[in-house]
Copies of this chain bind each other. A is one copy, B any other.
Amino acid sequence: MTVASAAHGLVVALSGGIGGAKLALGLSRILPAEELMIVANTGDDFRHLGLSISPDLDTLTYTLAGLNNPETGWGRRTETWTFMAALRELGGEGWFQLGDGDLAIHVERTRRLAAGEPLSQVTEDFCRRLGVRAKLVPMSDDPVRTRVRTQEGWLDFQDYFVRQRCQPVVLELTFEGRQSARPQTDLMAALRDPRLRAVIICPSNPFISIDPILAVPGLRQALGNSPAPVVAVAPIIGGRAVKGPTAKIMSELGLEVTAAAVARHYGKIIDGYVVDDSDVDQVALPGLHVHAAAILMQTLADREALAHEVMAFADRLRALGKAVRASA
């Protein structure tokens, strides 16, 4: 195994929206475009107003294209809201905010999907037109839909997440359609590629952003079979989520809100774990290599710096070889 010169090779990054997209952007800025594949969660995709909406895919697309809105974490940077105002006048559903510019990606995607194009092809074309050079793929071209069991019963994900602002207590999550979903073709090829350098699990919500990806049949096995290291970045710092409902969901599911609990949740699937400097003493799990870094990404420089740290750590793990890593 020649791993010493592994400063090149293919990197696959699994990501949800906001938090994950920050690291995905960092990776896209330090890696050659042809060496990075970003895999988006599509479990929170849904049909709304007759439109096919892919929130995480769009957040990643906009982030990588420099069009994202840094204030909200979703939607476009320069946006108008005339559509929503007119829709409300007509009695349309107003709980999911769709900016006028953002609407274009939903309308055009819906049209192309209805014409028979796979989601990954539509995504690739949008990325090319918006100047995104890294490859961005949905986890699957087949629909997988995250649903949330709460004390009010089962809810569609966006109903829980947006309409009810994550207020219902989460008892269970399921990913409808996962049994018949096939992992996106290029993703499977990448995971089997001997040039695979690392798989990075971005600091997204493990339950609602990463688990749906891992639920696609064949993906966990492909990660286990790959000689490349799988490295996750903790979405929890000092017992708190940087953004979003991760901490709330963890406590509702009976987990302690710590970086260590996230690592235990990922279990054997990860070889390495990047945690915040402040958390490093608390994360010690058999078989898991831990690397401490400043993982809070506030600036663009933070995103790039963390991407460098993560890749250097992954390359060290890769140099160890999988068998050695597993006995850490």
Please state if B76 and A101 are interface contacts (CB–CB under 8 Å): no
A125 to B91 Cα, complex, angstroms: 9
Contacts of A86 in B (CB 8 A): 76, 100-105
Residue A126, interface by CB 8 Å? yes
Q: Does A90 contact B (CB under 8 A)?
A: yes
Whether B80 contacts A111 by the Cβ 8 Å rule is: no
Q: Give the CA-CA distance A89 to B91 in the complex, in Å.
A: 30
Residues of B within 8 A of A96 (CB): none
Q: A86-B102, A90-B126, A103-B103 known; A49 and B80 CB under 8 Å?
A: no
The residue from B79, B92, B111 contacting A82, defined by CB atoms under 8 A apart: B79
Task: Return the chain B residue nearest A88 by Cβ.
Answer: B104
Which chain B positions have C-beta within 8 A of A292?
none
- Please state if B50 and A89 are interface contacts (CB–CB under 8 Å): no
Which B residues touch A78, using CB under 8 A? Answer: 82
Q: A220: shortest Cβ distance to chain B, in Å?
A: 34
Rounded to whole angstroms, the CA-CA distance of A107 and B126 in the bound complex is: 21
Query: Which residues of A59-101 are within 8 A (CB) of B?
Result: 76, 78-80, 82-87, 89-92, 99-101
Tallying the copies of this chain within the complex gives 2
Q: Within 8 Å of chain B (Cβ to Cβ): is A297?
A: no
Closest Cβ of chain B: how far from A297's Cβ, in Å?
Answer: 27
From B92, B107, B130, give the contact of A89 (CB < 8 A): B130
Q: Which residue of B lies closest to A98 (CB)?
A: B107
A108 on interface, CB distance cutoff 8 Å: yes
**Quick one: which of B50, B79, B102, B129 contacts A111, CB cutoff 8 A?**
B50
Q: Which residues of B contact A91 (CB under 8 A)?
A: 108, 125-126, 129
Nearest CB of chain B from residue A30's CB, rounded to whole Å: 26
